[in-house]
Structure 1
Amino acid sequence: MEGNVYGAAKAGGAFDLKNFLQQPHTLTRIVSWIFSIVVFGCITSDGYMNLYTSDLKCIFNENVNACHYGVGIGVIGFLICMAFFALDVYFPQISNANQRKYIVMADLGVSALWTFLWFVGFCFLTNQWAYTNPVPLIGADSARASIAFSFFSIFSWGLLVCFAFKRYRMGAEDFSERYTDPSHDYPPYPNVAENYQQPPFGSTAAPNSEEYKPPTY
């Protein structure tokens, strides 16, 4: 593979850690990874309180679904960032253009999905926090932090969508420029109808000039 395909140089080069960490999509993925840790860390540490009874209640309006949603998308987002971070490290060593394409398309689809889920999570947590009354003295800062970093995650994952789409277009444009019609490699098929010439009208095979005579005994 030659040139730059799907945002990476041809396979076989040495891995440059400094250049890898300076790439925009790498930095954005690390930021998204940190935001996910903050969200589910804040909820798991201070999101469940025993306000009135011995049973633990979710700090977001005692709605356990809000806490479960925040922890769920945070943990899964954390794992997704780890998986694609590892693929980003291995990506330049992949020599198959189709494999690169599938990885970039998966990155694009998953990042778009998680951008939407973070938006839903931000709206859900904000709504439940607005109805939380009275506001607990312990855990309120963690609840606000989880809401804030859910909001920040919308933009960080949105940037990952933009970077993945850019890499996909780079690969698609490179493929279209390099593609050649294989039919051009073969000579044109001869037109038999044009080359065929019918014998002149009325022509017959030349008769045998010598007549056959039966042998005499």
Structure 2
Amino acid sequence: MDGLQAYGAGKAGGAFDPLTFFRQPQTVLRIFCWLFSIVVLGCIANEGYVNRPETVEEYCIFNQNQNACNYAVAVGMLCFLCSAGFLALDVYFPQISGVKDRKKAVMADIGVSALWSLVWFVGFCFLANQWQVSKPEDNPLNEGADAARATIVFCFFSVFTWALQCLLAVHKFKLGADIAIFNQDYVDPEQLEPTEAPPTY
């Protein structure tokens, strides 16, 4: 019966089962996306800025480019909120009774996941480039180097977690779109071809 689900959900309603929910691949990936955004945000917030030896002014460890640190902080924060929001939507999703509303939720998941995958890829390329061209004399004590590398690595991991999330959402969309039984448009049984049977509910 798992195949007969409108856009990845069974009959609307029912009790929430946390064990089943947290075993779903989509939920596991969503949690990884959420955790990776926390790691990126935490690395930049804690060790992404270093004081100059001669002054108290702070600068970004990524080639002294404030835009690099600002990008990582903004993406980490927004991705954290987005992941939490979609995790809440996943909890609420089986309660949605309208097929069209489910379809909109799945399409939003596809679009947002694809967008975040692209944003993380751009962030990975940008931060890796800025770290590569950073001058050793700008940071003689090599402060925050581990945090910078961790930020780059988790940006890279985030590209794949969000891309997999997008693929799972596409699979859910195809599953729901192929099921004629959940079509909300009324079809007069007399207008059906002799070989066609009316949908059973």
Q: Which residue of 2 aligns with 1:34?
A: 35
Q: Which residue of 1 aligns with 2:84?
A: 82
AA paired with 2:73? Answer: V
Separation in structure 2 between the aligned mates of residue 154 and residue 186 of structure 1, nearest angstrom: 49
Structure 2: runs of 5 or more not aligned = 193-201
Separation in structure 2 between the aligned mates of residue 11 and residue 181 of structure 1, nearest angstrom: 20
CA contact (8 A) 2:44 2:69 kept: yes
Note the C-alpha offset of 1:177: 7.5
AA paired with 1:87? Answer: L
The counterpart of 1:160, out of the listed 159, 165, 181, is 165
Shift of the 71–115 alpha-carbon distance from structure 1 to 2, 3 Å rule, reads: same
CA contact (8 A) 2:99 2:184 kept: no
Q: Pick 1 or 2: higher relative contact order, CA cutoff 8 A, min separation 6.
A: 2
Please give the TM-score of this superposition, normalised by the length of structure 2: 0.87
For the pair 1:126 / 2:128, whether they are aligned, the reply is yes
With 136-145 and 149-158 compared, the bigger mean Cα shift is at 136-145
The secondary structure found in structure 1 opposite 2:178 is helix
Note the C-alpha offset of 1:182: 2.5
AA paired with 1:141? Answer: D
CA RMSD across the alignment: 1.9
Please give the TM-score of this superposition, normalised by the length of structure 1: 0.80
For the pair 1:116 / 2:118, whether they are aligned, the reply is yes
CA contact (8 A) 2:6 2:182 kept: no
AA paired with 2:134? Answer: T
Q: Which residue of 1 aligns with 2:197?
A: none
* Runs of 4+, deviation exceeding 6 Å: none
Structure 1 vs Structure 2: percent identity of aligned residues? 51
The secondary structure found in structure 2 opposite 1:90 is helix
- Asked which structure has the greater CA Rg, the reply is 1
The secondary structure found in structure 2 opposite 1:57 is strand
The secondary structure found in structure 2 opposite 1:8 is coil
Note the C-alpha offset of 1:64: 0.2
Pairs aligned (count): 185
Alignment of 1:1-217 (within 5 A): 3-52=4-53, 53-134=55-136, 135=139, 136-175=141-180, 178=183, 182-185=187-190
Shift of the 98–150 alpha-carbon distance from structure 1 to 2, 3 Å rule, reads: same
* Partner deviation per Cα, 1:10-56 (whole Å, 9 max, x = no partner): 11222111000000000000001000000011001110111242111
CA contact (8 A) 2:99 2:182 kept: no
The secondary structure found in structure 2 opposite 1:61 is coil
The secondary structure found in structure 2 opposite 1:14 is coil
With 176-185 and 161-170 compared, the bigger mean Cα shift is at 176-185
